[in-house]
């Protein structure tokens, strides 16, 4: 039954639902992922997408399974040697999760690009593995124009490489690790002021005094400070220390003058520093407000931009220069009633602000001829709650990365100031791609080739550096090492990339958490990594 | 000249060869070829592949349906079966020639004779206590001759752990590099809500759930006398959920859900396939390096986080000068003669570097071995409970004397030296 399936999925996916919620899971179950090349890297990536329950996958691969393939790939058996690799891998990946629909196309991506490039338009994301440069560039162009996210992955010896190509990826729920609270103590809103006025600390009995939330305490003492300091907030360390002292003096004392144990006051003192942070719109959000997509809303604008524009208008109107109130407060020492009442003050303000933003959303939608209900209250509330944490990731296209006119020379050169930086592996990968273009093979695949290919590879390295006018030095050791790799794809490095790439794909599909931008290098020799924007 | 890819014979122990052309092609490049980044001890050759590697896996757990979102060796039909056995079956059938031997046991159920046979130990344990135990076990296998460590007695320990989108992998050479206990402060102790909050001042839905779990269940015993709350029993969770809703309603607290209830009761940590794949892969890479000397192993700790992009940080954790686990020297305990034994007990459990669970303390007093306090055996606990309120002087302990402490966090007793302060 439908209900039984839903219940068993809730159980099965419980541990991941706690991270991205039911709505995140829904985006996964509606996704169709394309994997090109069922190599060890490819199948390891797909395993980590099939297990969490993506809707469907399609493997595109024209190769037949070789003895080498069966040796490093957990999803190919020696019995499948000689069979089409796409089909063989689909079987063993499919059986990981009955909820997922697995498909395969026995064709090389180059052929598909020749005959039917629109084949790729149907996918939520395309993941290309162990692809030569020419195929990447061709596919990159098609997917860019179709606005289909493209994730390129490569395992080369002990080096892992990922490149994300997505024009514009918006994130409402970025789930930041250490977010600052939104308490507005520097600019208390009307309802909050009324609420603090309902407290008279001096006339409270000890129990109430000791269980008053620290936010109220700071607000009260701040009020007093402002009246005595010409409406100026404590600015420097000295003033903040003096302010903390006023709070400390507010602690109830015994008849003998000994301060009682009032944990809530200690909390207030401890939190003064962050409580006095000025409420301001993060610069990242200001930048989004100033972007083209925010300023020209059309019927093609996604809900993200419509809501952002609405928030911008709110900021200039009802918000009086501030974002909608987030509406959450941290836990703190307090009795239940005082805490809940305070929490409700923030929650109600947040609801009010969200309602105001909603009106702006409706107006905008009407102005571009769209029904006002096309963006739900629920979505607007979620957007407002995350207003400080919105992120937009824009990756440069492959064409931009590879073109002599727009190559990011500065990024490459500055990292190469340290000749052992992970950047050297990026350059070596580009060099072996060049080698492949010239010699139709990778360097050092057979033992006898290793020595002689070192010089040939060095020629490729130098021509690469020359073409891009990069005056960097690549140590001979790295050229030797890349010949030694012989384009091997060891399983453990493939598996590391498998986990990394799958999670980036999940971020793209779910629009939760923040994808990398745009080049990731993993070095299994030193267990280090780096991210570059190329 | 084309190279002949000779099939290599690997003896699976039954005389049957599990080979096909090219099987080891990807790996051979790292074993047969010299290179500029190899370990100083590395010698190119194919010997590492001949001779047979067997794998033993120890796991006390059975498979739960909630494991299936990431534990890829298990299927719905396996729910209820021991993990070690199902994993072994799956791998033995998928990887020809591989021989995984399962042990459906706690790690603590096996002894030195068992652990001594291995070249490398890899852990993916779910608690710090278990990690410390394994750490202690490998430390106990170390052989010192005239104070010098015999390197042949060192069994490397590779440890991996994950939580949500965070993870870490580390390489421990017992007796040589930082051990689990050396870096205990890296794991902050678990924070529980204060009882007064739970009992009379709830503010969060979690407080309501803890109230039902800790106070209401033992009082009402809804499923009968002696029936302990079982987080894996949906009926139990449903009961807790309903009562938590009632408690929350009393205080106008919103947010109690079934999922939250289960999460609080079982102390669930979110988990996904991807993070586990990354950390497992990093650990496996280190096993490969240690087994083949192909590269210098990770030295010695890597953390990973892919919430925002992908972040790794690799550093060398240092051995602690006075580590109670891996240093040969007894650790000093500073107390006054008038301090009570309870204070010593509190120190052993609360100190960030020790974090013992329920230490049993014995000492040699007037030539006789005396158990000062032991919690885990009720009859002895009753007999020694009175000692907790006695002073160290009253218990006959002298300055400089050694205390032997046993605890679940280590298979061996830890020696401490009592130093009286004035």
In 3D space, the residue among A303, A289, A287 whose CA is nearest the CA of residue A364 turns out to be A303
Dihedral of the alpha carbons of B385, B390, B393, B397, in degrees to the nearest 10? 10
Instruction: Measure in Å the smallest separation between the Cα of A15 and chain B Cα atoms.
Output: 5
Chain B partners within 8 Å of A527 (Cβ): 169, 282, 285-286, 298, 302, 312, 314
**Distance, CA of A19 to CA of A25 (rounded, Å):** 10
Closest partner residue to A499 among B30, B262, B277, by Cβ?
B277
Whether the Cβ atoms of residue B355 and residue B405 lie closer than 8 Å to each other: no
Q: Which two tokens stand for residue B315?
A: 């550093």
Buried-state track B71-92, b at ≥16 Cβ within 10 A, e below 16: bbebbeebeeebbbbbbbebbb
**Distance, CA of A393 to CA of A518 (rounded, Å):** 9
Task: Please state the ipTM of this predicted complex.
Answer: 0.96
In 3D space, the residue among B55, B46, B56 whose CA is nearest the CA of residue B10 turns out to be B46
CA distances to A274, A275, A276, B166 from A180, in Å: 8, 9, 11, 21
Peptide bond connecting B300 to the previous residue in cis, omega within 30 degrees of 0: yes
The answer to pTM > 0.80 is yes
Whether the Cβ atoms of residue A494 and residue A141 lie closer than 8 Å to each other: no
Predicted confidence (pLDDT) at residue B330 exceeds the cutoff of 90: no
- A360 pLDDT tier (thresholds 50, 70, 90): very high
Dihedral of the alpha carbons of A302, A304, A309, A310, in degrees to the nearest 10? 110
> What is the percentage of chain B residues whose pLDDT exceeds 90?
74
Whether the Cβ atoms of residue A221 and residue A247 lie closer than 8 Å to each other: yes
Backbone angles phi, psi at B10, to 5 degrees: -120, 120
8 Å CB contact of A18 and B268: yes
Considering chain B, what is the average pLDDT of its residues? 91
Angle at which helix A40-50 crosses helix A85-94, to 10 degrees, equals: 30
Predicted confidence (pLDDT) at residue A527 exceeds the cutoff of 90: yes
Write down the pLDDT at residue B328.
73
Considering chain A, what is the average pLDDT of its residues? 97
Mean pLDDT calculated for residue range B156-183 = 97
Q: Which two tokens stand for residue A290?
A: 């100033």
Q: Which residues contact B354 (CB under 8 A, 6 or more apart)?
A: B184, B324, B347, B348
Write down the pLDDT at residue B17.
59
Predicted confidence (pLDDT) at residue B2 exceeds the cutoff of 50: no
Closest partner residue to B203 among A339, A446, A504, by Cβ?
A339
Q: Say how many residues make up chain A.
A: 534
In 3D space, the residue among B21, B16, B18, B17 whose CA is nearest the CA of residue B6 turns out to be B21
Dihedral of the alpha carbons of A31, A34, A39, A40, in degrees to the nearest 10? -10
Spot the catalytic one: B196, B208, B283, B323.
B196
Q: Which two tokens stand for residue A428?
A: 């070596």
Instruction: Measure in Å the smallest separation between the Cα of B49 and chain A Cα atoms.
Output: 13
Secondary structure (H, E, C), B289-334: HHHHCCCCCCCCEEEEECCECCEEEEECCCCCCCCCCCCCCCEEEE
pLDDT tens, B139-155?
Answer: 999 998 888 899 999 99
pLDDT tens, B6-65?
Answer: 444 444 444 455 789 999 999 999 999 999 999 888 888 866 554 346 899 999 999 999
Q: Which B-chain residues 274-303 have CB contacts (< 8 A) with chain A? A: 274-282, 284-286, 288, 295-296, 298, 302
Chain B partners within 8 Å of A528 (Cβ): 302, 312, 314
Closest partner residue to B72 among A16, A96, A516, by Cβ?
A96
Q: Which residues contact B130 (CB under 8 A, 6 or more apart)?
A: B107, B123
């Amino acid at each position: 039954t439908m209900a039984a399936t839903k219940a068993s999925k809730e159980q099965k996916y419980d541990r991941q639902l706690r991270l991205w919620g039911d709505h995140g899971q829904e985006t996964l179950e509606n996704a169709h992922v394309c994997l090109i090349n069922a190599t060890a890297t490819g199948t390891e990536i797909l395993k980590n997408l099939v297990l969490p329950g993506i809707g469907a996958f399609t493997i595109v691969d024209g190769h037949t399974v070789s003895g080498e393939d069966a040796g490093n790939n957990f999803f190919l058996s020696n019995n499948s040697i000689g069979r089409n690799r796409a089909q063989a891998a689909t079987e063993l990946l499919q059986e990981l999760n009955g909820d997922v629909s697995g498909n395969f196309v026995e064709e090389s991506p180059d052929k598909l690009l020749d005959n039917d490039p629109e084949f790729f338009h149907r996918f939520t994301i395309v993941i290309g593995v162990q692809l030569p440069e020419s195929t990447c560039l061709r596919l990159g162009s098609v997917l860019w124009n179709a606005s289909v996210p493209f994730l390129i992955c490569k395992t080369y010896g002990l080096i892992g490489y990922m490149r994300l190509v997505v024009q514009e990826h918006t994130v409402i729920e970025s789930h930041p690790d250490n977010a600052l609270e939104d308490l507005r103590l520097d600019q208390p809103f009307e309802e909050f002021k009324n609420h603090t006025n309902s407290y008279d600390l001096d006339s409270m009995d000890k129990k109430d005094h000791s269980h008053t939330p620290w936010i109220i305490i700071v607000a009260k003492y701040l009020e007093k400070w402002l009246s005595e300091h010409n409406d100026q907030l404590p600015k420097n360390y000295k003033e903040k220390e003096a302010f903390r002292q006023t709070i400390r003096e507010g602690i109830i004392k015994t008849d003998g003058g000994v301060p009682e144990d009032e944990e809530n006051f200690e909390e207030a003192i401890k939190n003064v520093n962050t409580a006095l942070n000025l409420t301001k719109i993060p610069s990242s959000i200001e930048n989004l407000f100033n972007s083209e997509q925010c300023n020209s809303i059309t019927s093609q604008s996604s809900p993200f931009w419509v809501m952002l524009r609405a928030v911008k208008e709110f900021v200039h109107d009802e918000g009086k220069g501030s974002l909608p109130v987030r509406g959450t407060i941290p836990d703190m020492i307090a009795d239940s009633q005082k805490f809940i009442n305070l929490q409700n003050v923030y929650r109600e303000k947040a609801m009010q602000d969200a309602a105001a933003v909603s009106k702006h959303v409706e107006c905008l939608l009407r102005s571009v001829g769209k029904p006002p209900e096309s963006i739900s209250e629920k979505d607007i509330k979620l957007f407002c709650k995350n207003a400080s944490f919105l992120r937009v990731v824009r990756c440069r296209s492959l064409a931009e990365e590879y073109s002599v006119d727009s190559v990011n020379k500065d990024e490459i050169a500055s990292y190469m100031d340290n000749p052992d930086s992970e950047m050297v592996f990026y350059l070596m990968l580009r060099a072996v791609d060049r080698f492949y273009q010239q010699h139709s093979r990778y360097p050092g695949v057979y033992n006898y080739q290793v020595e002689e290919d070192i010089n040939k590879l060095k020629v490729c390295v130098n021509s690469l550096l020359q073409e891009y006018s990069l005056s960097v030095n690549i140590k001979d050791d790295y050229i030797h090492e890349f010949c030694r790799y012989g384009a091997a794809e060891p399983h453990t490095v493939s598996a590391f990339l498998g986990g990394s790439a799958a999670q980036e794909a999940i971020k793209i599909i779910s629009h939760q958490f923040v994808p990398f931008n745009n080049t990731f290098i993993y070095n299994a020799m030193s267990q280090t990594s780096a991210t570059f924007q190329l | 000249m084309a190279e002949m890819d000779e099939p290599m014979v690997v003896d699976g122990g039954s005389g049957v060869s599990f080979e096909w052309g090219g099987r080891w092609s990807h790996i051979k490049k790292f074993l047969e070829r010299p290179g500029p980044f190899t370990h100083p001890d590395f010698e190119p050759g194919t010997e590492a592949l001949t001779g047979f590697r067997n794998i033993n896996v120890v796991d006390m757990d059975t498979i739960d349906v909630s494991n299936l979102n990431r534990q890829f060796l298990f299927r719905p039909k396996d729910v209820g079966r021991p993990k070690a056995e199902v994993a072994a079956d799956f791998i033995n059938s998928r990887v020809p020639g591989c021989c995984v031997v399962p042990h459906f046991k706690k790690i603590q159920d096996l002894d030195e004779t068992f652990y001594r046979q291995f070249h490398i130990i890899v852990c993916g344990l779910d608690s710090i206590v278990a990690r410390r135990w394994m750490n202690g076990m490998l430390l106990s296998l170390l052989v010192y001759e005239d104070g010098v460590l015999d390197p042949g007695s060192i069994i490397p320990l590779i440890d991996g752990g994950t939580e949500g989108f965070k993870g870490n992998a580390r390489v421990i050479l017992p007796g040589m590099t930082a051990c689990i206990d050396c870096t205990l402060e890296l794991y902050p102790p678990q924070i529980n809500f204060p009882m007064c909050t739970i009992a009379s001042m709830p503010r969060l839905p979690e407080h309501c759930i803890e109230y039902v779990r800790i106070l209401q269940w033992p009082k009402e015993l809804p499923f009968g006398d002696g029936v302990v709350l079982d987080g894996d029993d949906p009926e139990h969770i449903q009961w807790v959920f309903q009562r938590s809703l009632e408690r929350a309603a009393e205080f106008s607290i919103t947010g109690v859900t079934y999922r939250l209830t289960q999460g609080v009761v079982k102390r669930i940590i979110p988990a996904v396939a991807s993070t586990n794949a990354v950390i497992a892969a990093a650990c496996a890479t280190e096993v490969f390096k240690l087994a083949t000397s192909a590269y210098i192993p990770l030295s010695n700790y890597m953390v990973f986080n892919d919430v925002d992009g992908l972040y790794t940080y690799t550093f060398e954790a240092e051995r602690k000068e006075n580590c109670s686990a891996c240093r040969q020297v007894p650790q000093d305990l500073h107390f006054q003669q008038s301090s009570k034994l309870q204070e010593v007990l509190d120190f052993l459990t609360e100190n960030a570097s020790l974090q013992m669970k329920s230490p049993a303390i014995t000492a040699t007093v007037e030539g006789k071995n005396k158990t000062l306090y032991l919690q885990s055996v009720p009859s002895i606990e009753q007999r020694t409970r009175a000692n907790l309120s006695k002073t160290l002087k009253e218990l006959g302990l002298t300055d400089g004397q050694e205390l032997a402490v046993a605890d679940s966090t280590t298979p061996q007793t830890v020696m401490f030296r009592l130093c009286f302060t004035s």
